[in-house]
Amino acid sequence: MIALALAVSYIGMLVLCLAMDRHGRDVLGRVPGRGGRLAARLLGSALLAGALVLCFDRWGHAIGTTAWLGLVTVAGLVLILLLPFSVRAAGTGARMACLLAPLPVGAMAMGVFAG
Amino acid sequence: MAQAARGARGRAPSPRYRLDVASRAVAGIGGGYALSVLVTLLLARLLPLGAADAGLAATMGSFTIHAIAIIWAFSVRGQARVWGGIAGAAALAGLLLIVIHEIGGGAQMGGGL
Amino acid sequence: MKGGFRQSMAWLHAWVGILPGWLLFAVFLTGTIAFFRTEVTFWMQPELHASQPGPETAAMAMERLRTLAPNAESWVVGLPEERSPTLSLSWREPGAPPGRRGLTGTVLDAGSGVELHPRDTAGGNFLYRFHYELYALPRDWGRAIVGIATMAMFVAILSGVITHRRIFKDFFTFRPAKGGQRSWLDGHNAAAVLGLPFHLMITYSGLVLFISTLMPWALDDGGRHGRGGAPPDAETTVEKQLTPADLPEFAPIGPVLAQAEALWGIPAGRIMVEDPAGAAVITLAPRRNTRLSAHSGSGSIGVERLHFDGRSGRLIGRDDNIEESAVQATNNVLGSLHRARFADTTMRWLFFLAGVAGTAMVGTGLILWTVKRAKQQARPDGTIPRHIEVMERLNIAAITGLTIAVGAYFVANRLLPVDMADRAGWEIRVFFAVWAAFILHPFLRPLRVGWVEQLTIAAGLFAAIPLLNMAVTGSHLFVTLPAGSWIVAGFDLICLLTALGLGATALKVAGRWPVAAVRPSGRGARVRRRAVGRVE
């Protein structure tokens, strides 16, 4: 559940990030058009809102909001630390792989903690 | 302050620049603190809450007032405005405080302890 | 007032940040560790590490107190929980002074009930208290100093937000490969902007926790003088000595705990029994606050309580300050957020990571201050003005010097003789002695060498901690990981990660350090930087 909320926050931040000029160019190799950017922003915001709902479900409204801010912050920090690596990788596929790496790794780590 | 900032680029800051910064620091930190104390005491009397609540609410907000005073002191042009703004606001708060005290309105307004 | 306002805010941000910055770095670093203060204390007492709670732990605790302290006025049981899996028992003998001083106590293995004898340690508590009271200063002085620095932090955050107008455009930008001022600025912005909700919260709530020191003028002073509990009752006379057999039976504790868990949604963390030989009221406190707005209390346990009749096990009362005003609730929320009093393990990690971002924000801000000025004010011969060198040396002392001192504190915990007199005091003395040495050290070495040496020593110390655990305790990673003892394993893993980070930074700085790069040695470095810069 927490792993899911973190993953959703992370993908939300990633989508928002790729909708930005510099990061879109660096990772996808092109600046997204106006429509694409709008769609990405909507999708990213929806994912972050989804993470908030998951946090409400787990912690209730007051503590859930706090947890959500924390999760989004941590997701953003992970993304920031990975972006330079992805920028150095060659090819859009490799770049995306760099950026999506934390998801399986995180899931495995959560599995270890849970088991 | 734009003038002061320009001074910072030079090798040695001029005495005038130092004096300008020192004066703003005293106004913002010292004067700003005095201002925030007065506004806090005033709000503790005026807020439509119980005495303890009004005091606590005003106190919790006081740091914002102090911070704004510091930002004011380091951003407006000219010493007159720096000191005028802070001293003026403090005088106004102090005056209101005295008026409220004199007319004894504090108790009715929930400020009496 | 177009460019003028922003420019003056940039100036204010730099100065309000650098002047208390070294202290703020220490407050952020020790405060961040203090989110885990109970866990740190547990790690620092390896004698406790084998303790594993069992299903009968609470019943065993009640039984044990009956034999240990039949005459006591009250009993307190600290139940094992996720932050510290031991069982602590304490009691107040008749006529003992009020407060903590009057308590007699012991720590047990929560599974076997064997009495444990943990080493004397200053624990996580020393770092916790240091972060808001400093050390060896009159209490109010320490608080006032940290409080003023916190106010500066608040102004620094506000002026920083105003200055950094491209706050959303640069949201995810971090270019370590660019090197120099650009990388530090990116890192500073990233840590600051992403953690902004946390930084604002922790700073403002820090100020609010200090109100009785910083802004006492409009407060009821009842709270301030009410400290220290009620005066002792007039001479309690002990009528006769009771034996364990004289105590009436208690209701089974299991169902009592189950009732509390059903009401709170989380298990109880503490059992308190008043007058065990007579009225025997059982009071329970939850492991952590169940609500964000619950008062965080002055001790480690909040104010939420359930009262039971000890003989029948019936619920007889509940106090959790539900009727507090909105203002009081707001105050409680701020205190509770700052101290993470409601946090489960996941939340605690989120607070810790946000705290790490805050520490990084202050550290990169300090470095940025000198890097920027060294570049601006470099003389034609490549040297930089003396006062900037001094600032840079103080940065070394504050950032890596303190990191080394923290590492040394943990190492001292493992190496000082276990039965040493005033052992906790010696741990603290080691901390300050090592810090003093590494405050002096950068003034005796060239700048870059100072950084590299301190980073290397810090990396070595933190790498040594898990190894030392292997050498002198039975609870090292090869034991704790398979056993799933995540408190001890987590501490060791964080030490290893810290060591890796510090080591990597040492290597990077050894190759290229912006302040040093503008000095005559800079030719090679400049060429390399240009080459790296092209990658973008």
Residues of C in contact with B67 (CB under 8 A): 151, 154-155, 158
Considering CB atoms only, which of C3, C154, C218 is closest to B44? Answer: C218
- Three-state SS at C109: coil
DSSP string, A36-52: HHHHHHHHHHHHHHHHH
Residue B113, domain member (yes or no): no
Chain A contact for C132 (CB, 8 A cutoff): no
Contact yes or no for C198 and A69 at CB 8 A: yes
Buried b / exposed e across B69-97, counting CB within 10 Å, b at 16+?
bbbbbbbbeeeeebbebbeebbeebbebb
**pLDDT of res. C200:** 97
C283, C302 in Cβ contact below 8 A? no
Distances (CA, A) of A85 to C176, C357, C417, C532: 10, 20, 46, 14
- Please state whether at least 3 CB pairs lie below 8 Å between chains A and C: yes
Mutation pick from C327, C332, C388 vs chain B, by most beta carbons of B within 10 Å, is C327
- In a mutational test of the C interface, the residue from B18, B68, B75 whose CB has the highest number of chain C CBs within 10 Å is B75
Instruction: Establish if C198 touches chain A: CB-CB under 8 angstroms.
Output: yes
> Across the interface, which of C171, C292, C350 has its CB nearest the CB of A70?
C350
Residue B113 above 70 pLDDT? no
* Best to test chain C binding among A74, A82, A98, A110 (most C CBs inside 10 Å): A74
Q: Which residues contact C385 (CB under 8 A, 6 or more apart)?
A: C377, C379
Burial class of residue C457 (count of CB atoms within 10 Å of its CB; 0-12, 13-18, 19+) = buried
Residue B7 within any structural domain of the chain: yes
Alpha carbon distance C384, C166 (integer Å) = 30
- Give how far C211 is from chain B: nearest CA, Å: 7
DSSP secondary structure code for residue C81 in this structure: B
CB contact under 8 A, B53 and C325: yes
- Separation between Cα atoms, residue C427 and residue C411, nearest integer Å: 9
What type of residue sits at position C206?
G
Contact C353 A20 (CB under 8 A): no
Enumerate residues 6+ apart whose C-beta is below 8 A from B4.
B17, B20, B21, B24, C8, C11
Domain limits for position B62: 2-108
Q: A74 and chain C: CB distance < 8 Å anywhere?
A: yes
**Rounded CA separation C171/C198 (Å):** 16
3-state SS of C448-490 is HHHHHHHHHHHHHHHHHHHHHHHHHCCCCHHHHHHHCCHHHHH
Alpha carbons C400 and C422: distance in angstroms, whole number: 28
Cβ B36 vs Cβ C217: under 8 Å: no
Identify the pLDDT of residue C298.
62
Contact B77 C4 (CB under 8 A): yes
Residue B52 lies in a domain: yes
- DSSP per residue, C393-410: HHHHHHHHHHHHHHHHHH
Cα distance from C351 to chain A (closest Cα, Å)? 7
Measured CA to CA, the distance from residue A71 to residue A54 in angstroms comes to 11
Q: How far is C181 from chain B (nearest CA, A)?
A: 17
In this complex, the residue of C154, C219, C220 whose CB is nearest that of residue B63 is C154
Express each pLDDT in A63-93 by its tens digit.
Answer: 999 999 999 999 999 999 888 888 888 788 8
Bridge-based pairing of strands C305-309 and C268-274 is: unpaired
All chains having 3 or more CB pairs closer than 8 angstroms to chain A = C
CA-nearest residue to C152 within chain B is B67
Contacts of C535 in chain A (CB under 8 A): 88
Q: Is residue B80 part of a domain?
A: yes
Q: What pLDDT is stored for residue B19 in this prediction?
A: 93
Rounded Cα distance, B57 and B41, in Å:
11
Q: Are strands C74-78 and C268-274 parallel, antiparallel or unpaired?
A: antiparallel
In this structure, are residues C312 and C292 in contact, taking their beta carbons and an 8 Å threshold?
no
Q: What ranges in C252-299 are assigned the alpha helix state H?
A: 253-264
Residues of C in contact with A80 (CB under 8 A): 172-174, 190, 194
Confidence check on the interface: ipTM exceeds 0.85, yes or no:
yes
Query: How much is the CA Rg of chain B, to the nearest whole Å?
Result: 18
Contact C217 B41 (CB under 8 A): yes
- Asked whether the predicted pLDDT for residue B25 surpasses 60, the reply is yes
Q: Which residues of chain C have a CB within 8 Å of the CB of A22? A: 173
Mutation for testing the B interface, residue in C150, C215, C377 having most B CBs under 10 Å: C215
Is there a contact between C270 and C79 (Cβ–Cβ < 8 Å)? Answer: yes
Q: Does C354 touch chain A (CB under 8 A)?
A: yes
Using an 8 Å CB-CB cutoff, list chain C residues near B43.
Answer: 218
Phi then psi for residue C448, to 5 deg, are -65, -40
Q: Does C155 contact chain B (CB < 8 Å)?
A: yes
Report the Cα–Cα distance between both ends of chain B, in Å, rounded. Answer: 43
CB C126 within 8 A of CB C134: no
Distance CA A78, CA C224 (A): 43
User: Across the interface, do C151 and B53 touch by the CB < 8 Å criterion?
Assistant: no
Can you list the pairs that C123-126 forms with residues at least 24 positions away whose Cβ atoms lie under 8 Å? C123/C37, C123/C40, C123/C41, C123/C44, C123/C45, C123/C424, C124/C33, C124/C34, C124/C36, C124/C37, C124/C38, C124/C39, C124/C40, C124/C41, C124/C44, C125/C37, C125/C41, C126/C409, C126/C424, C126/C427, C126/C428, C126/C431
- Collapsing DSSP to helix, strand or coil, B4 comes out as helix
What would the two tokens of residue B41 be? 């005491």
What is the reported pLDDT for C33? 98
Whether residue C375 lies within 8 A of chain B, CB to CB, comes out as no
Give a yes or no: residue B85 inside a domain: yes
Which of A2, A77, A113 has the CB atom closest to C194's CB atom?
A77
Residue B106's pLDDT is: 47
CB-based contacts of C440, cutoff 8 Å, min separation 6: none
| pLDDT score recorded for residue A31 | 78
Q: Per-residue pLDDT tens, chain C, 536 aa: give them.
A: 335 888 999 999 999 999 999 999 999 999 999 999 999 999 999 999 999 898 899 999 999 999 999 999 999 999 999 999 999 999 999 888 888 888 999 999 999 999 999 999 999 999 999 999 999 999 999 999 999 999 999 999 999 999 987 777 777 888 877 777 888 898 999 999 999 999 999 999 999 999 999 999 998 754 443 334 444 444 444 456 778 877 888 999 999 999 999 999 999 999 999 999 888 999 999 999 988 888 876 666 778 899 999 999 999 988 775 677 899 999 999 999 999 999 999 999 999 999 999 999 999 999 999 999 988 888 888 788 899 999 999 999 999 999 999 999 999 999 999 999 999 999 999 999 999 999 999 999 999 899 999 999 999 999 999 999 999 998 899 999 988 899 999 999 999 999 999 999 999 888 865 554 444 333 444 433 433 332 22
Q: Considering chain A, what percentage of its residues have pLDDT values greater than 70?
A: 97
Instruction: Tell me the residues of chain A between 96 and 115 that have a Cβ less than 8 Å away from chain C.
Output: 113
Is there a contact between C197 and A74 if contact means CB atoms under 8 Å apart?
Answer: no
Rg (CA), chain A: 15
3-state secondary structure (DSSP) of residue C5? helix
DSSP 3-state of C281: strand
Q: What are the tokens at B70? A: 């510091």
* CA C510 – CA C529 distance, rounded (Å): 14
Give the strand order in the sheet containing C281-286: C115-116, C103-108, C87-92, C74-78, C268-274, C281-286, C305-309, C315-319
Q: Chain C residue closest to A61 (CA)?
A: C292
Instruction: Tell if the CB–CB gap between A73 and C169 is shorter than 8 Å.
Output: no
3-state SS class at C90: strand
Is C167 in the A-facing interface, judged by CB distances under 8 Å?
no
User: For chains A and C, what is the number of CB pairs under 8 angstroms?
Assistant: 70
Q: Enter the tokens of residue C50.
A: 């084998």
Lowest mean pLDDT across A34-43, B73-82, C379-388, C506-515: C506-515
pLDDT of amino acid A27: 84
Q: Does A71 touch chain C (CB under 8 A)?
A: yes
Please tell me the total count of domains within chain B.
Answer: 1
Q: Report the SS3 class of residue C305.
A: strand
